[in-house]
Amino acid sequence: MTSAPVRATRRQFTLGDAAREFWRHPSPWLISATLAAAVTVRLWMSEWSWTDAVVPLVMLAVFPFFEWVVHVCILHWKPRRIAGLRIDSLLARKHREHHVDPRQVALIFIPWPALLWVLPVSVAIALLAFPRTALGLTFLAFLTVLGLCYEWCHYLVHSDYKPKTAAFRAVWRNHRQHHFKNEHFWFTVTSAGTADRVLGTYPDPAAVETSPTAKNLHGQPA
């Protein structure tokens, strides 16, 4: 009597697997290098004040709305001609490619050439827009923390990792509805139903039609 064949099962994709893949890409390293530099100089300067606690709290409250605005106005920018010049940024082009193939890992991350100007601009804001340089460095350090959280969360949603908690399951569902249900809604990435609820882009999924252009933004080639 022969035994029943054993069916091969796919090994579960763990957080460790996700972390190893995450650190194979340049954007986490570029953001982390900026974070390390900001924290090092900030600790060296000292000059602590109560405002060093307020700035991160304000940034945390504003971040979902910042995500929403960037997603809607920059990443979903529709190419157009202004004074005969075609306006279509690298970020918008790469995001259209991301919608075409949401599982292509390299397209999940912020394009590293964009970070070569985004990070220096962030440093300039930190150094020039605050009344104290030390406070600006607090801003810069927390901004890079938020950037790393964004990259990790966005990558994890698009990976084979299965949500284990209700909170992450809500974030996972929110972003996947944006990609596979309708690209005109659910714009936040690291939270679910925060800025989207306030700004009117968090409908009942059952009441929303599946968009024919969710994988082809604006009906144009990536």
Q: What is the pLDDT of residues 164-195, one digit of tens each?
A: 999 999 999 999 999 999 999 999 999 998 99
Cβ-proximal residues to 57 (8 Å cutoff; 6+ apart), any chain: none
The pLDDT score that the predictor gives to residue 222 is 57
Is 6's pLDDT higher than 60? no
- pLDDT over threshold 60, residue 32: yes
Structure tokens belonging to residue 21: 């893949």
pTM: 0.91
% pLDDT > 90, the chain: 89
pLDDT of residue 212: 95
